[in-house]
């Protein structure tokens, strides 16, 4: 995937940099673990410090010292999950800031302007992320509005603007997903996202929606599964043709002391690690695993030290990036199905037992 700030090897995973930083780590550390792009949240940056401030300071890349691709969401997801007193009309959406209660009005044209001003490489259309559960009637009206907004975004696109991706919505209904995908693919977006998943629905339902939707999106354009997910979710989606992912899971879990390892997931605060001299994962080459013991990471976590978040975040992002590399290698060798089967057993085990990773909650 070629962008204004370089090439991304797909399938790819972009860590989330909500407020102009992937929480706790630097761009150099992201590059060291092999991150090829990050996601910025338009909603957050629009409210603080403001897209115009970032624009006057030379754009988001310069502001945050990141030279590689940035994908920005449209703010839709946060408007519908974080903001207060939302009111949706054909024209756009009015909401109150979750920070200070100030009132804002965003339209498809406005989110294009914001993402242009930020200097994003990949912009997303304004969409409504339909909550789960929603009635067929609501999901249909909403996904049709999202499609009309998508068309307005496309019309608002100017020369030199970021690449623009449409977003398939439609709740958990197959007919609506198909309608949304059909209507959007008639428009000339540079990529297509699958939105509205990982919003609380059962995992088999998420897999069904993905399996209905991904295959009917154009082969020739990137497919992006928004806000998903666990390593196994990602592998499943890649098998159905998804090219791009973002998720807060590795970074948020890191700050909560939950670490991914080649032998399952561990919660570093557990007493069993109090004097464990081993690295988190003996098969891992990340900075945290090269130099620090589980005992030290447990101590930092219990002592509420900032370095805990840093080391855990580096480790978890490294794990995700390495996971994507392994998936790409399996694809190149034509052995993706065998890789998937070999991993199945591991997905259900947790090295320290009795510990389940929580699902991502709204950012």
The window from 4-12, 14-22, 74-82, 212-220 that contacts a copy of itself (CB under 8 A) reads 14-22
Q: Which one among 91, 175, 282, 305 touches a copy of itself, defined by CB under 8 A?
A: 305
Question: Distance between CA atoms of 276 and 280, rounded to whole angstroms?
Answer: 9
Please report whether residue 303 would count as binding a copy of itself according to CB under 8 A: yes
Given the complex with a copy of itself, which of 82 and 168 has the nearer CB atom? 82
Asked whether 235 and 260 are in contact (CB, 8 A), the reply is no
Q: Which one among 6, 7, 31, 48 touches a copy of itself, defined by CB under 8 A?
A: 48
Specify the DSSP class assigned to residue 159.
Answer: T
Given the complex with a copy of itself, which of 134 and 251 has the nearer CB atom? 251
Given the complex with a copy of itself, which of 19 and 270 has the nearer CB atom? 19
Chain-centroid distance, C-alpha 11: 13
Given the complex with a copy of itself, which of 64 and 209 has the nearer CB atom? 64
Please report whether residue 187 would count as binding a copy of itself according to CB under 8 A: no
Mark 262-301 with x for binding to a copy of itself (rule: CB under 8 A) and - for no binding.
------------xx-x-------------xxx-xx-xxx-
Q: Inter-axis angle of helices 174-185 and 203-213, to 10 degrees? A: 40
Residues of 39-72 as b/e, b for ≥16 C-beta within 10 angstroms?
bbbbbbbbbeeebeebbeeebbbebbebebbbbb
Q: Which one among 230, 261, 309, 316 touches a copy of itself, defined by CB under 8 A?
A: 309
Q: Is 6 helix (H, G, I), strand (E, B) or coil?
A: strand
Question: Distance between CA atoms of 170 and 176, rounded to whole angstroms?
Answer: 5
Question: Distance between CA atoms of 39 and 24, rounded to whole angstroms?
Answer: 15
185, burial (CB in 10 Å: exposed 0-12, middle 13-18, buried 19+): middle
- Beta-ladder partners of 259: 266
- Beta-ladder partners of 88: 93
Please report whether residue 170 would count as binding a copy of itself according to CB under 8 A: no
Please report whether residue 94 would count as binding a copy of itself according to CB under 8 A: no
Number of residues that bind a copy of itself (CB under 8 A): 34
Annotated catalytic residue within 233, 246, 281, 322: 246
Given the complex with a copy of itself, which of 7 and 302 has the nearer CB atom? 302
Specify the DSSP class assigned to residue 94.
Answer: E
Please report whether residue 103 would count as binding a copy of itself according to CB under 8 A: no
At closest approach, how far in Å is the CB of 29 from a copy of itself? 10
281 carries an active-site annotation? no
Q: Which one among 25, 123, 234, 254 touches a copy of itself, defined by CB under 8 A?
A: 25
Question: Distance between CA atoms of 134 and 87, rounded to whole angstroms?
Answer: 17
Annotated catalytic residue within 73, 121, 183, 243: 73
Query: CA angle, 358 as apex, 251 and 29 as ends, to 5°?
Result: 10
Footprint on residues 54-73 left by a copy of itself (CB under 8 A): 56-58, 63-65
Question: 43: which residues sit within 8 A by CB, 6+ positions away?
Answer: 73, 75, 77, 78, 79, 82, 83
73 carries an active-site annotation? yes
Task: Give the residue numbers marked as catalytic.
Answer: 73, 246
Which residues of this chain interact with a copy of itself, rule CB under 8 A?
A: 19-21, 23-26, 48-49, 53, 56-58, 63-65, 274-275, 277, 291-293, 295-296, 298-300, 302-303, 305-307, 309-310
């Amino acid at each position: 995937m070629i962008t204004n700030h370089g090439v991304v090897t797909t399938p790819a995973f972009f860590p989330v940099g909500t407020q102009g930083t992937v929480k706790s780590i630097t761009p150099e550390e992201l590059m060291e673990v092999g991150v090829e792009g990050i996601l910025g949240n338009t909603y957050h940056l629009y409210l603080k410090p403001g897209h115009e401030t970032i624009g006057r300071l030379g754009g988001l890349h310069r502001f945050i010292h990141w030279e590689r691709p940035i994908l920005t969401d449209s703010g839709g997801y946060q408007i519908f999950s974080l903001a207060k007193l939302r009111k949706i009309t054909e024209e756009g959406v009015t909401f109150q800031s979750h920070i200070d209660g100030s009132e804002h009005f965003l339209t498809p044209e406005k989110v294009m302007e914001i993402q242009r001003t930020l200097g994003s490489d990949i912009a997303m259309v304004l969409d409504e992320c339909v909550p789960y559960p929603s009635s067929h009637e609501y999901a249909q009206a909403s996904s049709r509005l999202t499609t009309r907004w998508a068309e307005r975004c496309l019309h608002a696109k100017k020369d030199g603007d970021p690449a623009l991706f449409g977003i398939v919505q439609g709740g958990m209904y197959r007919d609506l997903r198909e309608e949304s995908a059909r209507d959007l693919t008639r428009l000339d977006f540079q990529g297509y996202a699958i939105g509205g998943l990982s919003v609380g629905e059962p995992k088999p339902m998420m897999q069904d929606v993905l399996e209905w939707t991904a295959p009917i999106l154009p082969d020739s354009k990137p497919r992006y599964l928004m806000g998903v997910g666990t390593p196994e979710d990602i592998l499943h989606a890649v098998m159905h043709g998804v090219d791009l992912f973002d998720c807060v899971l590795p970074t948020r879990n890191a700050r909560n002391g939950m670490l991914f390892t080649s032998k399952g997931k561990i919660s570093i605060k557990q007493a069993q690690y109090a004097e464990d001299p081993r690295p988190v994962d003996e098969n891992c080459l990340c900075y945290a695993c090269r130099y620090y013991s589980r005992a030290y990471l447990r101590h930092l976590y219990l002592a509420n030290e900032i370095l805990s978040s840093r080391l855990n975040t580096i480790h978890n992002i490294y794990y995700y990036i390495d996971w994507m590399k392994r998936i790409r290698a399996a694809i190149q060798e034509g052995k993706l199905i065998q890789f998937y089967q070999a991993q199945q057993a591991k997905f259900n085990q947790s090295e320290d037992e009795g510990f389940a990773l929580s699902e991502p909650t709204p950012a």
